[in-house]
Amino acid sequence: MSISEGSLPWLEKVKSAEKTCIIQDGKRKVHYKFNDNEEMAEEYNMQTDVLVRRAWRRRGALKKDGDWEVEMGDPEPMAVQNLGSGIGLMEANNMPYVVKRITKGNIEWRIRNLHFPLETYSVSANPTENCITVRTTNKKYFKNLPVPELERVGLVPKQENISFAHNLNVLIIMYKKPPEVLQAEQAVLALIKSVKTIKDPGELPCNPS
Amino acid sequence: MATLAAGASAKVPEVRDIARIERIGAHSHIRGLGLDDNLEARSVSQGMVGQQTARRAAGIVLGMIKEGKIAGRAILLAGPPGTGKTAIAMAISKSLGKDTPFTSMAGSEIYSLEMSKTEALTQAIRKSIGVRIREETEIIEGEVVELQVERPASGVGAKVGKLTLKTTEMETIYDLGTKMIDSLTKEKVGAGDVITIDKATGKISRIGRSFTRARDYDATGPQTRFVQCPEGELQKRKEVVHTVSIHEIDVINSRTHGFLALFSGDTGEIKPEVREQINGKIAEWREEGKAEITPGVLFIDEVHMLDIECFSFLNRALEDEMSPVVIMATNRGITKIRGTNYNSPHGIPIDLLDRMIIIPTSSYTDKQTMEILKIRCEEEDCEVSEDALMILTSIAMATSLRYAIQLITLSSLVSRRRKSNEVAIEDVKKVYSLFLDEGRSEQILNEYQDQYLYDSKLPNIDKGAGGEPMEA
């Protein structure tokens, strides 16, 4: 089964977005501006063309600028995260946190600071809520991992594609990318490669205030 | 009666425990309109006394406001001074609850150097229209396992703490900053409570106590609610409903116009373009079902202080379908409309009067006056003996209710000087002789006016003592 270009709402959305592309620090950075006040930023590795980071920013109803929400890649450094939200509450630094990555063939989640042995964990596909659920038998950790990549091509997570391992206090969960996801990625990549790339940061279309 | 007693006994420790932040104002004893289920006014209830017909009328108006369908109606509370006009308006605001905006202003507030009269009125009108916006926010919901707060030994410096929250599936430790520790202590959160914390604003709400703690031999009040420990993840996305006024949205959006907005601040004038943009946006949200409009109440006290321009502006503003219900109060009879040479009832132009429904208030009887004084004595925490109260009542009838109310705390201070807890007749008498009421002050002026400066009635005043006579 192949996906013809433009048959998916996700591809349509990316196509219609206002895109800006720049190559900086050896990374291809793309900024998307969608119609409904949403913004997305991506970073691609120049050598492998693999997506390294992707973040979203959604405008609230009261026109407040939201914070960037990292969908995948390294989270924002703690110092940046704590600048904005001054409510005086944050997870302790020895608590588990999730980092998501994409490799050529897999979607990967690394949950750091989880020091329980491997048999404690159960990782199951949850097709009804379109996520992968991580549980612990000692009821210390629980997480629903959304898989937007699958949702965008209209698939649900399947148990047989999941594998997981535990090493050095890190729980690694891998999900084998189905061919549809790979095709959609290729289509998006082709699309942004056709966008005119800005070489000089001075050309960026931002309005000085 | 029974509920009243129970309420009083439950109230006492609470009031004594927490430092009372609210100070006692002229109308702080009012808790509602004091109507029964048939909207019939009880003679003494919720801090209101007498004025039954006016209160009944206000109750009907309240029903109209609560329904929220009728926009742009004007109600005038008219009556002599000290007959409870402001009290009725306060009572309406108290019975409306938190979600209906109620803006209270005095007529003279619109005269400001910072903005024009119509801008002030527009802002007041837009403050009284609420928008309920549904928004998705991230909240943390869980049962408190442990709350540790470490205070620095020296007593100064930042407090640090740790909060452990759990659901049926997981447990997480959070680091706390000073701000969060303060709000946790203010909410009296302890182990076993189920709480939610809004991640964006840091607002904490206590949902109840966990069922697993139901057996703890804690003395719990009857209000304690037992709830299940939440399930799943601690952090959830939940739809919440905010109520904000349109004015607040105006201010948020007018600030983003570069750094110049820093100087104008939020009190400055807001451009009509911004307002139009926001009206459009709200209409859009409304169609999408994201927002709901709740028209509230704008209360303008001393409405005769408005001038003719304001009245004609109001005339037009009331026609807009987004306008709130406007309640006005005045104590003037037939008088000049400010800004003109014409006389009109209540100092309000006839065309605007024609759009209003008028609720009259009348003077209190001596029995009602006594009830009010009794309520005020309780509110001001003064014990007054029966006969002193009688004297106060007769003072109130002879002079004014406001003057008699002023005497309550004063005479209680005098009674404390002679180490008595109860105000007696002699205290009231002493205060009455020390402080003049308006009538006696006028009488003195009439008798000794020749000794005062700038007296206009006697042009042949001794020129040596004063300066030039004042201009008429």
pLDDT in tens, B145-185: 999 988 877 777 778 889 999 999 999 999 888 888 888 98
Domain CATH for A105: 2.60.40.790
Q: Which of B166, B171, B284 to mutate to test the interface with A (most CBs of A within 10 A)?
A: B171
Q: How close B38 gets to chain A, by Cα (Å)?
A: 41
Phi first, then psi: give them for residue A47, nearest 5 degrees: -75, -50
Between CA A14 and CA A38 the distance in angstroms is 12
Confidence (pLDDT) at B255:
61
**What's the pLDDT band for B216 if we cut at 50, 70, 90?**
low
E strand residue ranges, B159-288 = 160-166, 171-176, 193-198, 204-210, 226-227, 235-245
**CA-based nearest residue in chain B for residue A63:** B253
Q: What is the pLDDT of residues A124-133, one digit of tens each?
A: 999 888 899 9
For residues B186 and B215, the model is more confident at B186
Q: CA of B229 to nearest chain A CA: how many angstroms apart?
A: 13
pLDDT digits (tens, 9 = 90+) for B229-256: 998 899 888 887 878 888 888 877 776 5
Lowest mean pLDDT among A5-14, A91-100, B108-117: A5-14
Is-contact B300 B327, C-beta < 8 A? yes
> Considering CB atoms only, which of B167, B202, B244 is closest to A88?
B202
pLDDT given at position A93: 85
Do A61 and B290 count as a contact with CB atoms less than 8 A apart? yes
State yes or no: ipTM above 0.90: no
Protein fold of B134-240:
OB fold (Dihydrolipoamide Acetyltransferase, E2P) (2.40.50)
Residue A163 confidence (pLDDT) above 50: yes
Within-domain flag for A209 = no
Contact flag B170-A142 (C-beta cutoff 8 Å)? yes
Q: Is A36 on the interface with B (CB under 8 A)?
A: no
Residue ranges of domains in chain B: 44-128+296-360, 134-240, 366-435
Determine whether the interchain pair B168/A139 forms a contact, defined as Cβ–Cβ distance below 8 Å.
Answer: yes
Contact A89 B171 (CB under 8 A): no
Instruction: Look at residue B219 in the predicted model and tell me its pLDDT.
Output: 59
pLDDT band per the 50, 70, 90 thresholds, residue B289: confident
User: Does 3.40.50.300 match the CATH number of domain B44-128+296-360?
Assistant: yes
Task: Give the gap in angstroms from C-alpha A95 to the nearest C-alpha of chain B.
Answer: 7
pLDDT band at B22 (very low <50, low <70, confident <90, very high): low
Indicate the pTM of the whole model: 0.64
**Residue B194, pLDDT above cutoff 60:** yes
CB contact under 8 A, A62 and B252: yes
Instruction: Report CB contact under 8 Å: B176, A89.
Output: yes
Do B199 and A93 count as a contact with CB atoms less than 8 A apart? no
CA–CA separation, B67 and B128 (whole Å): 15
CATH for B366-435?
1.10.8.60
Q: Which residues of A touch B291 (CB under 8 A)?
A: 61
* B266 close to B255: Cβ distance less than 8 angstroms: yes
The answer to whether residue A186 sits within a structural domain is yes
Q: How many domains is chain A partitioned into structurally?
A: 1
In angstroms, rounded to a whole number, what is the distance separating the alpha carbons of residues B307 and B115? 16
Question: Which domain does A178 fall in, by range?
Answer: 3-202
A80 vs B: CB within 8 A: no
Select the residue of A90, A135, A141 nearest B175 (Cβ to Cβ).
Answer: A90
Residue B163 has φ and ψ, to the nearest 5°, of -125, 125
**Chain B residues with beta carbon closer than 8 angstroms to that of A209:** 258-259
Side chain identity at B342, as an amino acid letter?
Y
A135–chain B Cβ distance below 8 A for any pair: yes
Residue A92 lies in a domain: yes
Task: Say yes or no: A207 contacts chain B, CB-CB below 8 A.
Answer: no
Is the residue at A208 inside a domain?
A: no
